Structure 1
Amino acid sequence: MERKVYTGKNVMASGPYSHAVDSGEYIFFSGQTAKNALNQEVGESIIEQTRMCFKNLAAVMREAQVAFDNVVKVNVYLTGMKHFEEMNAVYQEVFQDPYPARTCVAVLELPLGADVEIECIVKKPAQG
């Protein structure tokens, strides 16, 4: 299988992976942290970090020509569930009802010292 991949402008990869991989009907977006943003100062609050995660994902989505309305599944990783309510507040700025399916888990730590990482799966819109 030849992989079609997308790379977001002003977003770095913190390892050997693609920002997004197109599988035909779905596009799988790698997790983004606020610390993946190039040339951007990001505050330490979970609200600022969550907004930057979504901004980084949006940059990759633009390259893939899809949007948050096309998201069917989201995975959120937090370094503590104490961040859950603030992350949810930002999440509701991005998604409206009916929401994508979602999993949110607490992890010991995340790359680059981040407190939140978000990944998603997008169903490509029908071509017509």
Structure 2
Amino acid sequence: MSTKKPIFSEKAPAAVGPYSQAIESDGFVFASGMLPIDPATGNMREGTIADRAHQALTNLKAVAESAGCTLEDAVKTTVFLTDVNDGKEVNAVYAEYFSEPFPARSAFQVAALPLGADIEIEVIFRKKN
């Protein structure tokens, strides 16, 4: 029988709806899509898409740490962008947070994201035994 354990980090923004920052189940941690919200202010990070990618990944790192993981434990990521042309800048930032072997990844251009964000990133982590 599988169990579901909610994961919460005060170093990441609270969920903006009826969902958890992450759920741990059967040795995996499923992190919800993370927006580039600065948890200290509750506001969307200003600046470039690179700045916002850094914020989203910093938030995911905090959630991972609350679950007893690191970004090295990431096995799958999904990147949502409102402009796929931002991919090159996002890739440069992404490579600062993940190393080889890189997690599997999907990236999509979407029409809109919550709160008017232009990037959202979700991650699945595999916990070490």
TM-score, normalised with respect to structure 2: 0.91
CA distance in structure 2 between the partners assigned to 1:67 and 1:12 by the alignment: 20
Residue 38 of structure 1: how far off its partner (Å): 4.0
Distance 1:111 1:37 in 2: 16
- CA distance in structure 2 between the partners assigned to 1:35 and 1:79 by the alignment: 16
Gaps of 5+ in 2: none
How is 1:1-128 mapped onto 2 (pairs within 5 angstroms)? 2-10=3-11, 11-35=13-37, 37-39=39-41, 42-126=45-129
Is the contact between residue 22 and residue 29 of structure 2 (CA under 8 Å) also seen in structure 1? yes
CA distance in 2, matches of 1:64, 1:36: 20
Residue-pair matches, total: 126
Question: C-alpha separation between the residues in 2 aligned to 1:83 and 1:6?
Answer: 30
CA offsets per residue over residues 21-59 of structure 1, 9 Å max, x none? Answer: 011211100000113634266214110110000111111
| Percent of aligned pairs with the same amino acid | 36
SS of residue matched to 1:84: helix
Moved over 6 A (4+): none
Which letter does structure 1 place at the counterpart of 2:36? A
Superposition RMSD in Å = 1.5
Distance 1:57 1:72, change over 3 A: same
